[in-house]
Amino acid sequence: MASSPKSSSRIRPSASAGQGSLFESAATAPETASTSHTAVPPSTPQSLALPLAQQFTSLSPAWQSGISSFVSSPAYAKLCDFVDGERAQGKTVYPDEVFRALKLTQPQQVKVVILGQDPYHGDDHGRPQAHGLAFSVRPGVRPPPSLKNIYKEIHASLGLPIPSHGCLDHWAQQGVLLLNTVLSVEAGRPASHAKHGWEQCTDALIAHLASQYQGLVFMLWGAHAQAKRALLPPSRHTILEAPHPSPLSAHRGFLGCAHFALANAALTEAGKTPIDWQLPPTV
């Protein structure tokens, strides 16, 4: 595998393992302005957001096994009570479908993991930006500055045209897990749902992927994402690190990091189909 640029570092794979059991019961910095994949419709209106416990139990058995330890911990009930309580108070909480990334990409389909922080907390002329995928925005919403820098890097390293929209469903459907480490946020209040239990949940997901599979590519942009490197066992995966694509830091090494080309090189070396990073012209 080709060596990485200064902004990235990598680790290599070993044997994968199987999936676990079902749940026992049913129940970045923010900014504004193969197995066949399951088709997932656009996110439901905010008023139809399901109780959080119901969203947890709607996950596939494969994802449920990855967070079973979290669900059996006291943090799970506290998180559900907090998020549902915020909605019950009349607060606007984004996104309506918090697990859309996990619906579009099953664990056995994951090839690349891109970590974000928490969902976009704003809207674009009344249309919420967040729709459950890190860095992605709903169809019809203008791409935010960090996503524009991601597009610039892909254009510079792979020569692909810069899309006019910001919906990254096409990546997710190929095995790119676009995972925020906090999966909900109050409108207009960045990081408002941090430190209420989401971090334990997503840490469990990341650790599950890292321990049960091999040859994955983890893109860790910025200090927040790079703190998750401790969850990644050595000698199993490719780890690419760079500054966050925010306009405040992209010029410090994100632009020019070549992560998208390096990810495809690593996937090819591992015998996996590379990602088509070119988005469709319309969604």
Q: Which of 84, 96, 118, 169 is catalytic?
A: 118
Rg of the chain over CA atoms, in angstroms? 18
118 is an active site residue: yes
Q: Which of 262, 51, 279, 69 lies closest to 165 in space, CA to CA?
A: 279
Q: Which amino acid is at 70?
A: F
Of 143, 191, 144, 149, whose CA–CA distance to 31 is shortest?
Answer: 144
Of 73, 80, 70, 77, nearest to 49 by C-alpha is 80
CB-based burial label for 36 (10 Å; 0-12, 13-18, 19+): exposed
Hey, which residues does 179 pair with through a beta bridge? 115
**Per-residue H/E/C for 245-264:** CCCCCHHHCCCCCCHHHHHH
**Tokens 């008023």, residue located:** 47
Q: Where are the alpha helices (DSSP H) in the chain?
A: 52-57, 61-66, 68-71, 74-88, 100-104, 145-158, 169-172, 198-212, 222-226, 259-269
Please give the single-letter amino acid code of residue 136: S
**Is the bond leading into 107 cis (omega within 30 degrees of zero)?**
no
Assess contact for 149 and 247: CB atoms under 8 A: yes
How are the residues of the chain apportioned to helix, strand and coil, as percentages rounded to the nearest 5? 35, 10, 55
Catalytic positions are: 118
